Each structure stands twice: as C-alpha cells, then as structure tokens.
Amino acid sequence: MPDIAVYPGTFDPITNGHLDIIDRASKHVATVIVAVSQNPSKAPLFSLEERVSIVEESVSPIKNVEVDSFEGLLVDYCMRRSARLVVKGLRAVSDFEYEMQMAQMNLRLADVDTLFMVANPSFSFLSSSIVKEVARFGGSIEGLVPAEAARRLKEKLDGEA
C-alpha cells in the first residue's frame, strides 16, 4: 500500500463527487492529501482559505485524510511532500484525453504516477461550476455537495445579492 497519494483540485467548492473519490482512495493508501490549488486562472468564487476550510470540514469523518494547499506545479508540491502518486477521478470519456496528457507530463517531469478512479455514476454529471450555477439561480443542490459547502455557498450567494 503506498504511503501517500495526493488528490489535487480547485475544489470551488468540493462536491460529493470529489468526496466519493477521496473516501474510496483513502481505503487504498495510508494517507490521502487533498491538495487545494490556488488556481487564479479559474477566478474561484471562494478564496483559497475558504476552499481549504470547506474541504477540511467535509473530510473530517475520514481519518486518514489531510488537507493542504499549493501554488505552482503539482509535481513540485508532490516532491515537497515526498508523494509519488496522484489520484484523479474520471467522470466520463471526455475527461480522459486531458487527464492523460497531464498524467503523462507529470510522469515525465518528476516520475509522479497517476491513479485514475472512475467516478460513481451517481455523480458523473457533477462539476463545481454546475453546482454554483444551479445554486445561483435558486435550484436545489441537495445531495450534490457536503453540508458545509451548501451552507457556505448559500452564505456567499446571499452576500452577493
């Protein structure tokens, strides 16, 4: 069993699809580090600190999960944490091409391997953006995001109104 696997993402906010991957990955490795990317290119709704704290609250029932944040290249972060394995979820075939490109680049850059886990079909239509859009227009996001993410989304969107 590998010691550490890094599960990276923007998590703006974390969804139940992410949580499902984290939970399942935690059964295969000693420690899963959920690494929240600064990712200014996505202009996130939540600040880095907010995203980290929502993830922390959401993963708290899973014992062998740690939450951290990073800037810059994922492989540099992996090296700093002595991690040689990245976990990514695949929701559909359309995810595959881009994910494979990133995985191959990470392998070439630093010999960091990627373990792909297929998304639970109940969540394969989910993305953080679609959740934000539904919430912004008043639709129900029940069952799609952890309770803390739903609470913080409501707070943030009410504050915008």
Q: Which entry of 18, 88, 132, 152 is annotated as an active-site residue?
A: 18
Which residue's beta carbon is nearest to the bound ligand COA?
A: 17
What residues make contact with ligand COA under the rule CB under 6 A?
8-10, 12, 15, 17-18, 21, 37, 39, 42, 73-74, 89, 91, 102, 105-106, 119, 123, 126-129
Please, which residue, 4 or 102, has the CB nearer to ligand COA?
102
Whether residue 13 is preceded by a cis peptide bond, meaning omega within 30 degrees of 0, is yes
| Residue 116 C-beta: closest distance to ligand COA, Å | 11
Which residue from 120, 114, 141, 131 is spatially nearest to 17, judged by alpha carbons? Answer: 120
C-alpha to C-alpha distance for 112 and 25, rounded to whole angstroms? 17
Please, which residue, 30 or 130, has the CB nearer to ligand COA?
130
Q: How far apart are the first and last CA of the chain?
A: 48
Which residue from 59, 106, 109 is spatially nearest to 87, judged by alpha carbons? Answer: 106
| Residue 13 C-beta: closest distance to ligand COA, Å | 9
Residue with tokens 């810059």: 72
| Residue 60 C-beta: closest distance to ligand COA, Å | 19
Name the burial class of residue 155, with classes exposed (0-12), middle (13-18) and buried (19+) by CB atoms within 10 angstroms of its CB: exposed
Please, which residue, 53 or 109, has the CB nearer to ligand COA?
109
Q: Which entry of 37, 88, 128, 152 is annotated as an active-site residue?
A: 128
Residue 18 is a catalytic residue: yes
| Residue 52 C-beta: closest distance to ligand COA, Å | 14
